[in-house]
Structure 1
């Protein structure tokens, strides 16, 4: 009888082993990565508590992939992501999610082309994309700095410079 649940259930046991309930067999992180690549819906849960561990397992897969070969995330990029946790967390998460979705949509549209043609296209577009991303980063940086300067006009506001006398001198005594 076919499994009626479209989401594949993977159970994680205290010994850190993963068990695929659909195939009734133990699997590895590599197997879960294949499920992601094949766009197979799945959920990883703690076998004892039922707690959803899917995000944690996906982060583990990313960590392993970043350790092997050429990483996607540079140290500076990871530092930037860490800095965004807090007030801009939702905005960055939404931006990254939409950006990755856009790249995936482009790949799906180009899926009929051979991998070599796609590779040639991307390599020819790389300089333009780098220039556009550089411009975007610079604009984002300027927007952030302008926002900080705006808040600096209000003494006592978090991030304010503390300058508020007529001569532009600090009110704070060091």
Structure 2
């Protein structure tokens, strides 16, 4: 191969790589700013099911419809690409709203291992409570058929919205609706 052909091939590869990266960045920007789509569900308007699960340290946490706080309940597994995609967004949402909204993550441990779940939590420095659904009871009660799945629950304990993969902008929009709904209830 001549030097000219080699340089031409390298230039072509660089241009192609630039186009692919550009398309990816545009796609990510559009995806991050697009509103979340809700999942069709018969659960809307139903009262959430209270549950108790242990965290990574064996401490039990009770999640209750009657806590008086709106909630975001995130079901996830360490092997799930969408869970990796949403982890940093969930961290930012948790940091911003943890005092106003109960934000809980539930590892679907029947589809994962405790060790892999811990590695995931460490890799993304997850700060929100991470509970283990080791026997699958809570996942079954919430009819989880896809991972990730996110439940947005009103202060009165009723299920308002359900989504699959979450974006920061979409989650904030739904959380603001929950908080606005709470203000309307108080007036």
More strand by percentage: 2
TM-score, normalized by length of structure 2?
A: 0.23
More helix by percentage: 1
TM-score, normalized by length of structure 1?
A: 0.24
- Which one has more relative contact order, counting CA pairs under 8 Å at least 6 apart? 2
Higher alpha-carbon Rg: 1
